[in-house]
Chain A
Amino acid sequence: MKTLKARVLVFLTLWGVWLVLTAPWSVQEAAAGAVAAFLIAALPFFPSSPLEDLRLSPKALLYVVAYAFVFLKALVLSNLDVAFRVLHPKLPIAPGIVKVKTKLKTPLGRLLLANSITLTPGTITVETRGQDLYVHWIKVADADPVAATEAIVGDFEKYLEVICG
């Protein structure tokens, strides 16, 4: 079965969410959730899912954890940066849309990269076309695609390349 990996991941995600939602656990509730999650994961018409691009080697899982920390650090730093710009009396912004080229090949990798860029304040992904991401940047430091790529996605890409190529 081609979609087996995605089905297993869907089952684990659904069941995990169910278990967290029904926090003081009872065996009956957990079993009912497992049955429902299994039925959904075993649907005959399962759409092809980008989840199949996820790598599950130990190194990739380690990088998922590392990526969470790298992302949180970027989130906090850029939040403080935007807070500084908002409170500054002169409002030091120079907004513009720059083009960023990504090395990631898989749809899941590009999705995660675009969403990470959007979640960090100061940058919003406006559009993606193939390997180009068009990013709105609150203070354009460099309009050149290579330098902009390094400044915006340099940190994320290293980890995402290992997680989902």
Chain B
Amino acid sequence: MAAIIGASLSLVGSLFFLLSAIGLLRMPDAFNRMQAGTKATTLGSMLFLVGIGLMRPDFLGRALLLAGFIALTNPVSSNALARAAHGYRKRLGAKLAPDALAEDDEALAAAAVRDAAAGSQAPRVQEGRHVD
């Protein structure tokens, strides 16, 4: 019985992998590909691991541990990719209808220019961000 449930969970998980692959092909730019590609894999891989754990109970603990590591590390890499993609958004041709981050970046840069003009300090370069 547990084997059947585990097998169907794995099947559903692999369906989510298929969906994310379709999304990767269909989505127009880097951000949306990330949404479809790396995100559908969270539920997909978690269901897959739980399914394998149910089919082979001696692996259940280890499979859950793996799911936990995916939950901890996936957002870190996605965040790094998204930050980098935002720096190069114009070259990637990304369309962002409201882009609050770019607006705030421009406001910060404008404030830095004003500071430099007023106080004749060296212009502050914005730290850690590639401005395209």
Contacts and interface: CB of A to CB of B under 8 A. Distances in A.
B104 A21 contact: no
Contact of A127 (B19, B58, B74, B101): B101
A15 to B, nearest CB: 13
Interface string B23-38: 1001111011011100
Contact of A119 (B26, B71, B98): B71
A17 B20 CA distance: 30
Contact of A98 (B75, B79, B98): B98
Interface residues of B, number: 43
A82 B97 contact: no
Contact of A122 (B39, B61, B76): B39
Contacts, number: 127
Interface string A106-141: 000000001110111110111101001010101010
B132 to A, nearest CB: 14
A51 interface: no
B98 A96 contact: yes
B19 A86 contact: yes
Contacts of A93: 27, 32
Contacts of B102: 97
B75 A114 contact: yes
B3 interface: no
Contacts of B26: 86, 91
A79 interface: yes
Interface of A: 17, 20-21, 23-24, 75-76, 79, 82-83, 86-87, 91, 93-99, 114-116, 118-122, 124-127, 129, 132, 134, 136, 138, 140, 143, 145
